Amino acid sequence: MQNITIEPTNQSEVDCGEHGVSRTVWGYLYVEGVPRAVYYVQWTVGRAAENGANVDLLMGEWEDDSTPEQRVAVSLEYRVGPDGPEFRSLDPHERPHANSGLAAHNIPGRHVMGNPVAADAYAFMHAVFGQDARVAELVQASQV
């Protein structure tokens, strides 16, 4: 997939007491200028190297007349391993953004690899980590 761009739209922070501050950033992903996904990245501020992050992608049609039936949810986990960043699929039904009603279909973690959406999901995730300056803490944690 070529010419993926992002449009960062918003972010939120929640104080989780002794567990720290949970930050969530989100926005749109475009392919050739057409909206193709919404992304959410959530992590604990200052603990990226130890806790990593969760990435939720709601992929499909996002034109004005599209419906949740035209979208799927895929959730990924980002961790910093001994050799750098690592990603694995999660079950989206456990993630609040994937259950927001914006996507009617969840792809279980065990079904992502080998599924046609896997290549898109990983391309989108790499675009987010490469273009959204708000996730710089996550990228820098993998470079230490």
Per-residue pLDDT band at 112 (split at 50, 70, 90):
low
Per-residue pLDDT band at 26 (split at 50, 70, 90):
very high
CB 24 within 8 A of CB 11: yes
Helix ranges (H only) for 1-144 are: 48-51, 117-131, 136-141
Q: Has residue 107 got a pLDDT over 90?
A: no
Strands 71-81 and 105-106: parallel
pLDDT at 127: 94
pLDDT at 121: 85
First to last CA, the chain: 29
E strand map for the chain: 4-15, 21-31, 34-44, 53-60, 71-81, 84-90, 105-106
